[in-house]
Structure 1
Amino acid sequence: MMKTRYIALMAMSLVFVACNTEEDFDRTEEVAEIPELTAGSADFSTYVSLGNSLTAGYTDNALFIAGQENSMPNLLAAKFSLVGGGAFTQPLANDNIGGLLVGGAQLEGFKPRLVFGGAGPVDLEEVVGPISPTTDIVLNNPSGPFNNLGVPGAKSFHLLAPGYGNIANLEAQLANPFFVRMTGSTPDARILELALAQSPTFFTLWAGNNDVLGYATSGGDGTNPITDQATFDVAISTLVTSLTGNGAKGVMANIPYVTSIPHFTTVPHNPLDPTNPDFGPQIPTLNTIFGTLNQIYTALGETDRIVTFSETEASAVVILDENLTDLSAQIAGALNANPGFPLFVQQFGLPSEAAPIVANLLGVTYGQTRQATEEDLLVLPSSKIIGTVNTDSVAFLMSQGLPMEIAGQFSVEGISMPLADKWVLTPEEQAEISTAIDNFNATIAAAASGAGLAFVDANAIMQDLANGGVTDGDFTLSANLVTGGAFSLDGVHPTARGYALLANEFMKAIDATYESNFEASGSLYNIGDFPTNYSPSLR
């Protein structure tokens, strides 16, 4: 019985084999072989990176160890090391706090990093309490030479400037404290000079962002002007010619539009909520004051300047717009000529004799103002200013005879006191910035093409992030602050994950120009391996 069963099974197997042809056995799925990583015609043995904060690893409004370790050049260097790349040294900070000291004193304007405070970005100290940086540009600078020569704040021409890293020039604002940490025994050495001293075989150059960004982040108020085109052209030409002089190959990237980064797109033009107990109850009084001014605007044919606050919907802030004709004299004249104006002044607890003073103050304050529109861009730091009382304005109004309470009521940022130019980019300022970026990017593209260098269209990448996001592997990054994953809490610089995305784009550009195969060999980064924020406890 058992033998009969075995015979039957054997017979069935023979039939099964007979029914399968040789072709049937050859139908195995072909598994694509992943090629071995190769550098192509690129020589990564000595790699240097030149640029600014975007190449230094700056993130969350500070430079600190963890951010530097995840800098785009450091990520590139790790991949280059797989195909002959050498050591890559960075001028690491002393901690993960951020900020800088000068001989033990905190350097003004260089504070500890930002962290997520539950609703948005806040200073680290607001979460962990008082804390002091330990990175001191006098006492504990690292030793070079450094392969990462990205200097936060550097403009294109600063890469060629002698003395930019000399601490003796710091007080005159001719030196950069981040570069002071890098010059060592040669304080007057240029950034380009330190790069060339290493005889680089490969370089990345991403410069020019600050030639425009400084103007944009200061609201176009003129304190940080856009670099003139001739200076920019000479700087880029000199950098490329010098870096390629000994046959080095490299990659260049261009400048993103400011409208593609959350520093300029996060704060809405209409953040004034009528349900806010500090704002809502004041709306009737505010509309009474502006109603008087609105009559003058209407009489002058300037209806675009009318200010009205809604009691049911979010209202736009009041801004100073220097592109408007100054109507200060007309406003003051109309108010002084109005026989009912002294009575209007009295309802605020002021004597009728104060009417001329108040008329002149209103003229000066609202001579070039309007409510913001969707076309205006408010810089990210304005979110902490809107609705606060400007103490300097209070002091001035009190010096003009107004009591403290009234002075305070007329000094509320973005409401009774127009937001200053530094907090807002008007359409005219945006157009000026866009024109400069287009011209600078044409220079960069021409320089890269002329030298046969790889090129990364960072502008296009940033626009893609702003318009729906960029997918890399299993992750999609966008330009939304906090939730988008691409930009850090300062709204300008990438997160570690954003830097990994950029590193992948640089490797793709290298593949296209030098026939390396970072992408085809599966050597790009999985951006999901990188964080989008750093813990407040990180030290």
Structure 2
Amino acid sequence: MKKIIISTIAVSALLFTATSCNTDFDTDVKDIPVTKGEADFSKYVALGNSLTSGFRDNALYIDGQNESYPSMIAMQMRLAGGGGFKQPLMNDNLGGIPSAGIANKKILAVVAGALAPVDAPGTGTTTLANIYSAGPYQNMGVPGAKVAHLIAPKYGDPAGLNPLAPTANPYFVRFASSSTTSVVADALAQNPTFVSLWIGNNDVLGYATSGGDGSNPITPVDGPIGVGFNSTYSALAGMLFPSGTTRKGVVANIPDVTSIPFFTRVPYNPVPPDRFNTALSGSPSNQNANIDALNAQVFGPLKQILTGLGQGSRIQLLSKTEGNPVVLKDESLTNLAAQITGALVAAGVPVQQAGLMGQLYGQARHSTSQDLIPLTTSTVLGTTPSSPFAVAPFDKYGTTYPLEDKHVLRGKFNNVNGEVEEVLAATVAFNATIKSVADSKNLAFVDMNAKMKELNSKSGIVWDGVRYTATFVTGGAFSLDGVHLTGRGYGIVANEFIKSINMKYRSTLPQVDPNKYSGVKFP
């Protein structure tokens, strides 16, 4: 198993690096009297998905909810006439919902001498019991929600939690006003004076995190309301901001999900040469001998056969000195199983082994720098798959046994676009719609895509001498799931919303101090 090793020395150095620039948030209005401008903050309601709810560390839990970006914004709005802001808090800081099969949050623990994310011990006490009687709630972020889910009736119906064909969401089941309502209906029932909307990430993120295996497809750009992104987002915005309304609001676009730590932590060539060392502890390493044997018996013959078929770039020889790419199955490639099998048999390889190699490598290739390896794949690299074809030496995921589609987000190969390009194209299309709707409704607009790209740059973002980047854990902004933010990261998001609100509505809401919120906790 690949260890995710995190140095505490590196963490301290990165999180508290002083720079010549005091802060990158240069439009703060902290020295100006707070005013609401042209907006009315007396009833603020936030709609969105897990990012809005305060989800982090792979779970929704109290401390994370209390550091959600809408709660930070609401706190600043109170300085300009804003009202109360309630959130549907979970029962504890574990976040798990046992009855719904939802696991506890991730924490850092020492595993085999290194820090690694693991599930927090204990049993979550949150149930699916409805808590609307303590509401209504102004934070209406629902983890897992796509655009169409916000307008779908019965999205909070317990009867719709059928795991085989779910039509409801366990998080919304907890705080929906009724079994027939929708998220947007419950929001409008509060008659909000100001609304924030950050939705659409899951319309592409689910496809990306599942490796584009078809289990969670990208939402089509076009199609009727409830199917196509364009029509559904426009309909949702029309419900929240109908013609003639005095309600004000802010919307945000979708970040490029391929640049988050979930896809950048594990490199495309994560297999070190010592992965091929099978010697007993205390014995001299036999990695070089094993690499030579695999090159001579497996990858060398495969490359020679594929080169003869004009597909030599599919397979590379293993390196003894550099990290090696993973072997993956690429369904977009022509299946050359029969040709591989026939060529091996002709070369004297036993029929059974030749057939096995043809079956395994007919659509296999080594990863390239265009491919993205999900963070979760690190837990299966080098393990033995449950498959009748997993026999020595073809029994190690990613090294000799090809990773299935769900374990890799495939990029462009041999000038043919892959799943990465599908994700990027959808993001561009969705963001064009969001910006168009913001303009047509005269709403404040947050370019969160640009901000996350800035966060993902080498220079990152600085606040009061502390630098934040998108580096996994040590960058300070992203939590242990590699997708959602820390409290500090949500502080950065809150400030982007506040800046856009101030610019659009001439208000002077002060920004928050991200450094005052929590980051990744170390044991």
Fold equivalence (TM over 0.5): yes
Q: Which residue of 2 aligns with 1:507?
A: 498
> Hey, what's the Cα distance between the residues in 2 that align with 1:439 and 1:139?
37
> Hey, what's the Cα distance between the residues in 1 that align with 2:496 and 2:507?
13
- Paired residue secondary structure (2:75): helix
> Hey, what's the Cα distance between the residues in 2 that align with 1:49 and 1:282?
57
**Which residue of 114, 133, 155 maps to 1:164?**
155
Answer with 134-143 or 258-267: which moved more.
134-143
2:73 matches 1:80: no
Q: Which residue of 1 aligns with 2:467?
A: 476
**Which residue of 349, 362, 368 maps to 1:367?**
362
- Paired residue secondary structure (1:215): helix
Q: Which residue of 2 aligns with 1:271?
A: 270
Deviation at 1:121, TM superposition (A): 4.1
2:199 matches 1:195: no
Letter of the 2:171 counterpart: F
Answer with 241-250 or 453-462: which moved more.
241-250
Q: Which residue of 1 aligns with 2:336?
A: 327
Distance 1:163 1:364, change over 3 A: same
Unaligned runs of 5+ in 1: 1-31, 343-354, 398-405
2:209 matches 1:217: yes
Q: What does the per-residue CA deviation read over 1:85-135, in whole Å, with 9 as the maximum and x for residues that have no partner? A: 111111100000112122xxxx33x2111112354542234xxxx411111
Q: Is the 1:156–1:207 contact (alpha carbons within 8 Å) kept by the matching residues of 2?
A: yes
Q: Is the 1:389–1:408 contact (alpha carbons within 8 Å) kept by the matching residues of 2?
A: no
> Hey, what's the Cα distance between the residues in 2 that align with 1:270 and 1:33?
47
**Which residue of 288, 307, 310 maps to 2:316?**
307
> Hey, what's the Cα distance between the residues in 1 that align with 2:262 and 2:58?
11
Letter of the 2:491 counterpart: A
> Hey, what's the Cα distance between the residues in 1 that align with 2:520 and 2:492?
15
Q: TM-score if structure 1 supplies the norm length?
A: 0.83
Give RMSD over aligned pairs.
Answer: 1.9
> Hey, what's the Cα distance between the residues in 1 that align with 2:355 and 2:324?
27
Seq. identity, %: 47
Letter of the 2:409 counterpart: L
2:349 matches 1:341: yes
> Hey, what's the Cα distance between the residues in 2 that align with 1:452 and 1:301?
55
Q: Which residue of 2 aligns with 1:382?
A: 377
Q: What does the per-residue CA deviation read over 1:365-385, in whole Å, with 9 as the maximum and x for residues that have no partner? A: 101111111111101101111
- Paired residue secondary structure (2:47): strand
Q: Is the 2:262–2:374 contact (alpha carbons within 8 Å) kept by the matching residues of 1?
A: yes
Deviation at 1:474, TM superposition (A): 2.2
Deviation at 1:312, TM superposition (A): 2.0
**Which residue of 496, 514, 520 maps to 1:533?**
520
Letter of the 1:271 counterpart: P
> Hey, what's the Cα distance between the residues in 2 that align with 1:198 and 1:417?
55
Q: Is the 1:209–1:255 contact (alpha carbons within 8 Å) kept by the matching residues of 2?
A: yes
Distance 1:293 1:35, change over 3 A: closer
- Paired residue secondary structure (2:134): coil
Relative contact order: is structure 1 or structure 2 higher (C-alpha 8 Å, sep ≥ 6)? Answer: 2
Deviation at 1:267, TM superposition (A): 0.2
Q: Which residue of 2 aligns with 1:417?
A: 401
Q: TM-score if structure 2 supplies the norm length?
A: 0.86
> Hey, what's the Cα distance between the residues in 2 that align with 1:271 and 1:74?
39
Q: Is the 1:91–1:142 contact (alpha carbons within 8 Å) kept by the matching residues of 2?
A: no
Distance 1:535 1:415, change over 3 A: closer
Deviation at 1:187, TM superposition (A): 1.2
Q: Is the 2:249–2:444 contact (alpha carbons within 8 Å) kept by the matching residues of 1?
A: yes
2:52 matches 1:55: yes
Deviation at 1:325, TM superposition (A): 1.4
> Hey, what's the Cα distance between the residues in 2 that align with 1:221 and 1:142?
40
Deviation at 1:503, TM superposition (A): 0.5
Q: Is the 1:387–1:412 contact (alpha carbons within 8 Å) kept by the matching residues of 2?
A: yes
Letter of the 1:307 counterpart: Q
Question: Radius of gyration: which is bigger?
Answer: 1
